[in-house]
Structure 1
Amino acid sequence: MIYEKINLRDISSKLKDSNAIMSTYIPENSEEININKKRETIIICPGGGYVGTSDREAEPVAFKFIAEGFNVVVLRYSVAPNKFPKALTELAATVNYIRSKGEEWNVDSNKIIVCGFSAGGHLAGSLGVLWDNKILEETLGLSKDDIKPNAMILCYPVITSGEFAHKGSFDNLLGENTSEGEREKLSLEKLVSKNTPKTFLWHTFDDGAVPVQNSLFFANSLAANNVPFELHIYPSGVHGLSLCEELTAMNGQSEHINDHVSTWFNLAVEWIKKL
């Protein structure tokens, strides 16, 4: 296992004022199994309303994906008072760095997947719809192909800035006094194109913090642009379920343990293996 904590300011001169950290969990290949194996790499963006990054949606999720044989990177990206596009440039630089480590980390460069929860889902989704936007190319000095994710896993994601918005996330990302028009520029369902990566989405119908319409709007936009996706809407479950197990339950709260919704993880693994 290659485990490192890497300050993003150390991997790019364009991020010299960044305090973001990526934690890497890279399984080493074995001659007994497959010394030449190339692995899918999952970049986890924990949620936290762009004001923090949740421990419950970070390392425990990484361990679960590692057990399935994937490379995993957890990105603790910049949050408020930092504003857009700080976190987005950090995620884009992370994708580029992983591609640059292709041989050393046995990376399948065509299967780099961003996985985000809640506001982390908005960050992951933002890269999915903006990877070919000039703002990233000009800010980082990297080619579009180097920062493009190949797929996305969006878990109860913040998507829309409209009627069903999670207002707090947009307040923290853009500022409380930002106009409706400025917020709409980061309403992800309006930014989907035919170049948006394949997507796996899941949400609960009665999510009381980030309404289910967020995932429905994004899925509808993917369909309109002929982008393949898999969508699971579970009938019931609180926001922030993570793995839906005791391991990730907030202070042991039973409402964060949900055997039915926990099936999202195995479904996502099956989906990844068919990419």
Structure 2
Amino acid sequence: MDRKYIESEHIVDRYLSGDLTVREARDFEKFCLDHPAYLQALPIPVRLKTRLSRRPVEGSETGVFEAIPSSATRAAMEVVEDDDFDPDEAREESRRFNFGVGLNRVVIMALLVAVVAAGAAAVVFGLQASSLADQLQNASKEMTATQMQAPGSVQRYKLQMVKAKPSAPTFAPGWMNPPQLLDISIDASEGKIAQYQITIDKTDGVRVMQIKRIMRDSNKEVRFSLNSSAFGPGNYLVKVEGYNWRGQTQDVGWMMLGLE
């Protein structure tokens, strides 16, 4: 007989009620005698613990008979009046003890689940905080890169348009540090259009600027200037449109600036 068997078979309750066989009762008494610490933890009256801590009486029952209380149980029953021992109360005390043990296990499991959940939440929060920090750092870098600065020099570029929207830069000066003032001239010698509209979008679709009603000069060129520090690193699509006699715009050509 061991502790697991005692708990699973409700040996303590059955012992108090006298429902054990003689051999079961003797095995339980022997276990209590061999394990005094376990005996002291049992929810049974102190006087019964005292009797179970003593050696059994010589000649006590050892055979297997149905529902015959052991010598220690009978001895305890014989002193009910003197010891104020109530078997029902003892069984109720044992039941409360077992219930408390089970409740403690439930509480411990609930606490473990809560600790695991809190740990998982902390990990998720840490990952989100790290991601947010990276986003803020990247945004700060981009703001620094696109902060308007006075150009350190002026550089003139004469560019040619293409008829179809390009997928790669047609003009790639790269990232300029210190910034430059880009004096751009576009060849507009073909056709009779005199006024143009320039629209500059980043390749991700973000509108950067739009210049309307630019007149073609006497050299039949459309000329405008850009501060390179007004643009962040990346590629920029330049759409050139012309105004017809009705004031409506029509596509004339395309360019792509590579500033990275």
Q: Pick the TM interval, shorter chain.
A: under 0.3
Provide TM-score, normalisation by structure 1: 0.21
Task: Report which of the two structures shows the higher radius of gyration computed on alpha carbons.
Answer: 2
Provide TM-score, normalisation by structure 2: 0.22
Specify which structure has the higher proportion of helix: 2
